Chains A and B, each alone.
Chain A
């Protein structure tokens, strides 16, 4: 008996071939082929507040979006600039405190504190990370991991901004809908904005810095300036998320520097698909709700996280997004060899 050998063959769908790069779209069908995934994502996210059954799950949506912004900022820095940053908690904490201080000390309303926290917080984070910009790879990662720990201890030791109690009594957003649409729209704007940005000529500089920083220097370009710009973009996104978090919980405190904010976005990026920007958002929509469902198991959740992560790294290391994209763009069939 002979064993029959089969091979999986992948063929691009005709529409992909015609639409990839050269946007010569011939029909409504081709147009919808391109826009459908984007439309599903946008419509899906915008309808989430209506689909969720209760307050609790609506809150989960907000938290998912906050993590999604962090995951976007991580993915952008790591895979388009080459700076692996574990500073998610640093961004969230800085943004959270800036919003908290502006609101409770100066009485500035949330509509202003959120954008202000993005700008001021982003500037603070960028300035503090400036000395680390020449570092590469794991060294940058380690230093960025130290920053949130450092900040939390400083606030604790000097009893700044309410010390360990934090700043309480901060204004919330005007309504649950306002809160959810703010975070959902922020995710969408950052997602599509960054996807567009990385393909512009300036976005290309970041890729070049990641690929070969010496050649960028030899091209007469100041790489420190561009790295700082990238860190500013990523950290102001994170700080904005932090400001939202402060207003959602009406409190800002040192637990905003918790390492969860650094670690979970990375796990989401691995699961969703590194370097795809949309993937990490997707990853957050899977990881965060699941972790909420597992809340009853307490710290055992970590075991679940770890196994999911290891599983993905071993079996689907390019992530869900790449997998789905391939299914969408290509036929697969078994052929005899």
Chain B
């Protein structure tokens, strides 16, 4: 948004990460400003998930630094990063399959951060966790009357599991949500119903980083896009700028979809 005035809420500074011989990230730097929806795109294996892991503490960067509101959070443990309000979803969904859907949210609502903040809607006070959990699920698109919140998580279809990933972040009353491919594996109509949800979260002042292969839907919500290729940052800009970039066209998969999206945009 107003990048000149605001301080970046999240900064990655020349971060590299190698796994043995594989260099997953090479000197990647970017800033995220409050209220942004930053899209990160790139071919498979270009290091997108590694960026998420480096920010949220699930892996330690080999070099470089990560800042949240100016505070150095490089290599901090995952639960401490989440405690700051920097939350993430997992590309391979990680629900608690043995619990009913609503009890999945009792876990984040039990965290120190939720106790402090009262959860997504809470004004600093946390009521009955199970009731709040059902309220959050309803807001995020679980039909309350259908008993779906009470179903065992292992019986839920992918669409609900993706929402559950988002709900876990929301339960913490997040400052940032980093979504790792929340649209993948969903049908067109499911994605269409998720887009307004993302926009609503943005309106509520939550900063969002979206990693996505579905460019068309991403460009509906993102105000800036960063392109990653072989662990390096190719370019960054508004969706239109990025799509016009020759390097992107070259690097990004069978440029057909890129053109399709350009016409659309």
Chain A contact residues, CB within 8 Å of chain B:
201-202, 204-205, 207-208, 211-212, 214-223
Cross-interface CB contact of A215 among B83, B107, B113, B114, cutoff 8 Å? B107
Chain B contact residues, CB within 8 Å of chain A:
56, 58, 77-79, 82-83, 87-88, 90, 94-99, 103-104, 106-114, 129, 168, 171-172
Given contacts A211-B96, A218-B82, contact A201 B90 (CB under 8 A): no
Interface contact A207-B99, CB-CB below 8 Å: yes
The 13 sampled A-B contact pairs (Cβ below 8 Å) are A201-B110, A202-B110, A204-B106, A212-B97, A215-B168, A217-B77, A218-B78, A219-B82, A219-B110, A219-B168, A220-B79, A220-B114, A222-B79
Chain B, Cβ-Cβ closest to A202: B110
Interface contact B82-A211, CB-CB below 8 Å: no
Interface contact A212-B96, CB-CB below 8 Å: yes
Interface contact B108-A220, CB-CB below 8 Å: yes
Find chain B residues with CB under 8 A from A207 CB.
Answer: 96, 98-99
Given contacts A211-B98, A211-B99, A220-B114, contact A205 B58 (CB under 8 A): no
Given contacts A202-B110, A204-B110, A208-B107, contact A219 B99 (CB under 8 A): no
Interface contact A220-B82, CB-CB below 8 Å: yes
Find chain A residues with CB under 8 A from B129 CB.
Answer: 201
Cross-interface CB contact of B113 among A211, A214, A220, cutoff 8 Å? A220
CA distance A202 to B106 in the complex (A): 9
Interface contact A214-B110, CB-CB below 8 Å: no
Chain B, Cβ-Cβ closest to A217: B78
CA distance A177 to B222 in the complex (A): 74
Interface contact B107-A204, CB-CB below 8 Å: yes
Find chain B residues with CB under 8 A from A214 CB.
Answer: 58, 78, 90, 94
Interface contact B94-A205, CB-CB below 8 Å: no
Cross-interface CB contact of B99 among A208, A222, A223, cutoff 8 Å? A208
How many Å from the CB of A296 to the closest CB on chain B? 45
Residues of B contacting A: mostly: helix
- Contacts A201-B106, A212-B94, A218-B79 aside, 8 further interface pairs with beta carbons under 8 A come to A201-B109, A204-B99, A204-B106, A211-B99, A217-B58, A217-B82, A221-B110, A222-B77
Find chain A residues with CB under 8 A from B108 CB.
Answer: 219-221
Interface contact A204-B78, CB-CB below 8 Å: no
CA distance A207 to B153 in the complex (A): 14
CA distance A217 to B168 in the complex (A): 11
Cross-interface CB contact of B96 among A201, A215, A217, cutoff 8 Å? A215
Find chain B residues with CB under 8 A from A218 CB.
Answer: 56, 78-79, 82, 87-88, 90, 94, 168
CA distance A207 to B56 in the complex (A): 23
CA distance A180 to B168 in the complex (A): 48
Chain A, Cβ-Cβ closest to B109: A201
How many Å from the CB of A108 to the closest CB on chain B? 38
CA distance A222 to B83 in the complex (A): 10
Find chain A residues with CB under 8 A from B87 CB.
Answer: 218, 220
CA distance A220 to B77 in the complex (A): 10
Find chain B residues with CB under 8 A from A202 CB.
Answer: 110
How many Å from the CB of A66 to the closest CB on chain B? 31
CA distance A208 to B97 in the complex (A): 9
Find chain B residues with CB under 8 A from A221 CB.
Answer: 79, 107-108, 110-112
How many Å from the CB of A217 to the closest CB on chain B? 4
Find chain B residues with CB under 8 A from A219 CB.
Answer: 79, 82, 107-108, 110-111, 168, 171-172
Q: Which among A207, A212, A220 has the highest number of chain B CB atoms within 10 Å?
A: A220
CA distance A249 to B103 in the complex (A): 46
Chain B, Cβ-Cβ closest to A212: B94
How many Å from the CB of A81 to the closest CB on chain B? 13
Interface contact B110-A217, CB-CB below 8 Å: no
